[in-house]
A and B are shown apart, each in its own frame.
Chain A
Amino acid sequence: MSVIEISNLTKLYGNSRGISDVSFNVEEGEIFGFIGPNGAGKSTTIRTLLSLIYPTSGSAKIFGKDVVKYAPEIKRDIGYLPSEVFYYDNMKVIDLLKYSASFYKKDCTRRIKELSEILELDLNRKIEDLSLGNKKKVGIVQGLLHEPKLIILDEPTSGLDPLMQQKFFDLLEKENKKGVTILFSSHILSEVQRLCDRVAIIKEGKIVQVDRISTLKENNYKKFKIETKTEVDFRAFDVAGVNQIEIKANTISFIFRGNINSILKKISEIEIANLWIEEPTLEEIFMHFYKKEE
């Protein structure tokens, strides 16, 4: 079952770009990565899902229900962590969390205690006195305290130190094992790569690709590095499938996608000193998507 179904979602803001024709599904129980550089439309998509803004055209469903029409109902089971956390002044952490809990028809006291202990969050401090990282922790607890079935995270790790990030990821994985679906938006590839099952790549408001992380990596993308004995005319490698070619004196490196035999034949034509063929990181594949059209 799809927890999130987005079909042809378009949001235009006057002159500036929003998102156009975004479509993808997030299945129940998966951790879905949503990746793209700043300003690509990640937050716009998420805010439309949460009906903080309304689509210009297209539609989205969560739990099979239209996000605009059934917004209050859907939100009972959504936990959201915005990229920047802003809270009311003059409130203690515990007051805010209780206020947050008061919107859900369940007792969240135990969960608040549990989560704040894991994250080492002091409940009696005033929110305005907290550091960025601690505010983020308040956001995390606030987003998870009602045990949502869908967690939406918009660049959640900014401000958290690596140790806290680890704890946070463990927490997410634990939730995920319970069957919780997670939409994880980020511009940091390594964290998406580590956590997510599938990923949608967004660029300039459009979805470039939706794929499994594993397929994306296995999809015949190979990273080649060749060391030659003599200087080589790099135009020899100007064939289909070769990307991001880089030449430094006697070494050539590039990302290749296509029939591995054809590139090996090319290589066999020249005298080589050394050869590395590696799995590219997601980062490198990602760069491929972004550079392609330049």
Chain B
Amino acid sequence: MNIVIRELQATRKSLIIWCVGVLFMVFAGMGKYAGMTGTGQTINELMAEMPESLQAIMGSGGFDLTKAIGYYGLLFLYLAMMATIHAVMLGANIVSKEERDKTAEFLLVKPISRGKVITLKLTASLINLVTFNLVTLVSSIVMVQRYAQGEAVSGDIGLLMIGMFFLQLLFLVVGTAIAAIIKRPKRAASISTGVLLLTFILSIAINLNDKLGILKFITPFKYYEAEQILNEGLDPAYLTISIILITVLTAITYQSYKKKDLNI
């Protein structure tokens, strides 16, 4: 428990900053929608006239932008992006920092197994992720509801947030696994965010080019696209892949960290 409390104290500041960031994103994003409502159908026409590649990059494909929830679907990509950056950096740092800051010589000479250290650090990370997710969920429901003109939106937003939570979990363990494997702790965060950006760019590339469709299983961003979640709900196949990936990466984190020569 002591490690969980310590980690929560250590991550508190950055969590607050991230939450303020995501709040700003939701409020400012939906605020823009308020400015658009007057234009009626024209926004959809405008979007449809844009080159497809631009639409792909913005992720605006099949949303009805006259509806608040449709507009929120567009915004979701950016919220998910923030959530995953937060998760992957948290994962990489929470594991690598003991080596990076040379506190491993303090913590890992205590009567505690490395496995337990990872368990407690993952617990603290989960609390961080859940907080981030809840802040996004609540602020989204409040803001979208405001513009939804009586339409029920919390169900849809709930589904999107479940998707985002899987993305968060996935990238958290991407971060922890990389931090556990690599020998130079200082590079854990940069390599992890590199992986994140790569998968993100790949998901856009797939949107741009149908021939890359087969690669959609490599990038988690394709697993949880707002368009698909809003129209068809969460795909059980992608959920299964996510759960398998999370399990494997968690196992890699534990195994690699247990066997690792600490670099101090």
Chain A residues in the interface with B (C-beta under 8 A): 47, 50, 52-54, 71-76, 78, 80, 82, 84, 86-89, 99-100, 102-104, 142
Give chain B residues whose Cβ lies under 8 Å from the Cβ of A103. Answer: 2, 110-112
Give chain B residues whose Cβ lies under 8 Å from the Cβ of A76. Answer: 111
Determine the distance from Cα of A29 to Cα of B57 in the docked complex, in whole angstroms. Answer: 70
Closest 10 CB pairs of A and B: A86-B102, A103-B110, A102-B2, A53-B261, A76-B111, A75-B111, A82-B105, A80-B109, A72-B113, A52-B262
Determine the distance from Cα of A82 to Cα of B103 in the docked complex, in whole angstroms. Answer: 10
Determine the distance from Cα of A75 to Cα of B6 in the docked complex, in whole angstroms. Answer: 21
A-B CB contact pairs (8 Å), 28 listed: A47-B262, A47-B264, A52-B262, A52-B264, A53-B262, A54-B261, A71-B113, A72-B111, A72-B112, A72-B116, A74-B111, A75-B109, A75-B110, A76-B111, A78-B109, A84-B102, A86-B102, A86-B105, A86-B106, A88-B6, A88-B10, A88-B101, A88-B103, A89-B101, A99-B6, A102-B2, A103-B111, A103-B112
A/B pair count, beta carbons within 8 Å: 57
Give chain B residues whose Cβ lies under 8 Å from the Cβ of A72. Answer: 111-113, 116
Closest to B259 in A: A54
Give chain A residues whose Cβ lies under 8 Å from the Cβ of B105. Answer: 52, 80, 82, 86
Determine the distance from Cα of A89 to Cα of B116 in the docked complex, in whole angstroms. Answer: 23
Closest to A52 in B: B262
> Which residues in window 97-152 of B have CB below 8 A to A?
101-106, 108-113, 116
Determine the distance from Cα of A193 to Cα of B69 in the docked complex, in whole angstroms. Answer: 78
Determine the distance from Cα of A72 to Cα of B105 in the docked complex, in whole angstroms. Answer: 14
What 9 additional pairs, Cβ within 8 angstroms, besides A52-B262, A86-B102, A142-B106?
A47-B262, A52-B109, A73-B111, A74-B111, A80-B105, A88-B10, A88-B101, A102-B2, A103-B111
Determine the distance from Cα of A99 to Cα of B8 in the docked complex, in whole angstroms. Answer: 14
CB within 8 Å for A100 and B110 given contacts A86-B102, A88-B103:
yes
Most buried by B among A52, A76, A142: A52
Nearest-neighbour CB distance to chain B for A125, whole angstroms, equals: 18
Determine the distance from Cα of A89 to Cα of B97 in the docked complex, in whole angstroms. Answer: 12
Most buried by A among B104, B110, B262: B110
Give chain A residues whose Cβ lies under 8 Å from the Cβ of B6. Answer: 88, 99
A100 and B264 contact, CB distance less than 8 A: no
B111 and A104 contact, CB distance less than 8 A: yes
Determine the distance from Cα of A99 to Cα of B259 in the docked complex, in whole angstroms. Answer: 26
Interface size classification for chain B: 20 to 34
B102 and A52 contact, CB distance less than 8 A: no
Nearest-neighbour CB distance to chain B for A291, whole angstroms, equals: 32
Determine the distance from Cα of A71 to Cα of B112 in the docked complex, in whole angstroms. Answer: 8
Closest to A48 in B: B261
A87 and B106 contact, CB distance less than 8 A: yes
Nearest-neighbour CB distance to chain B for A273, whole angstroms, equals: 56
Closest to B183 in A: A14
Nearest-neighbour CB distance to chain A for B263, whole angstroms, equals: 9
Determine the distance from Cα of A100 to Cα of B104 in the docked complex, in whole angstroms. Answer: 13
Determine the distance from Cα of A104 to Cα of B109 in the docked complex, in whole angstroms. Answer: 12
Give chain B residues whose Cβ lies under 8 Å from the Cβ of A73. Answer: 111
Nearest-neighbour CB distance to chain A for B17, whole angstroms, equals: 15
> Which residues in window 8-34 of B have CB below 8 A to A?
10
Give chain B residues whose Cβ lies under 8 Å from the Cβ of A78. Answer: 109
Nearest-neighbour CB distance to chain B for A235, whole angstroms, equals: 51
Give chain B residues whose Cβ lies under 8 Å from the Cβ of A54. Answer: 259, 261
Nearest-neighbour CB distance to chain B for A153, whole angstroms, equals: 12
Nearest-neighbour CB distance to chain B for A69, whole angstroms, equals: 11
Closest to B10 in A: A88
Give chain B residues whose Cβ lies under 8 Å from the Cβ of A142. Answer: 106
Q: Mark B222-264, 1 if CB is under 8 A from A, else 0.
A: 0000000000000000000000000000000000000101101
Determine the distance from Cα of A71 to Cα of B259 in the docked complex, in whole angstroms. Answer: 13
Closest to A79 in B: B109
Determine the distance from Cα of A82 to Cα of B262 in the docked complex, in whole angstroms. Answer: 14
A99 and B2 contact, CB distance less than 8 A: yes
Determine the distance from Cα of A72 to Cα of B101 in the docked complex, in whole angstroms. Answer: 22
Nearest-neighbour CB distance to chain B for A6, whole angstroms, equals: 17
Nearest-neighbour CB distance to chain A for B236, whole angstroms, equals: 41
